[in-house]
Structure 1
């Protein structure tokens, strides 16, 4: 791979940065709310699964 000068590297970085399409504020807020809701749903789901397995293990250990 050919070496390039630091100046050329910076020009390429700037050219690539101009191509980036940033989300709007509304898209960012909507995505953040969606992620928060999914986090709560998954946390409750895994809490339920963990509780269920915990009770099952306690029951099995009480048989011994």
Structure 2
């Protein structure tokens, strides 16, 4: 990798940063809402799986007593 002086590096960083397409406020809010919904659904799924495994283990352990 070639050595670049600090001034040229800063110019390159600014040039690359100007190419970034930033999301609009609406897109950000919609995406954030989608993330919250998916987190909620995933938590419900893992709660149900945990509850099921817990009951299966209780049944297995109660067979031994």
Match of 2:58 in 1: 58
> In the TM superposition, what is the alpha-carbon distance from 1:45 to its structure 2 partner?
0.7
Gaps of 5+ in 2: none
Gaps of 5+ in 1: none
Q: SS of the counterpart of 1:23?
A: coil
Match of 1:33 in 2: 33
In the comparison of the two structures, how many residue pairs are matched? 64
- Return the alpha-carbon distance in structure 1 between the equivalents of residues 44 and 32 of structure 2: 19
Do residues 5 (structure 1) and 5 (structure 2) align? yes
Compute the TM-score of the two structures, normalised by the length of structure 1: 0.97
Deviation >3 Å, runs of 4+: none
> In the TM superposition, what is the alpha-carbon distance from 1:2 to its structure 2 partner?
1.6
**RMSD of aligned residue pairs (Cα, Å):** 0.5
Q: SS of the counterpart of 1:20?
A: coil
Match of 2:21 in 1: 21
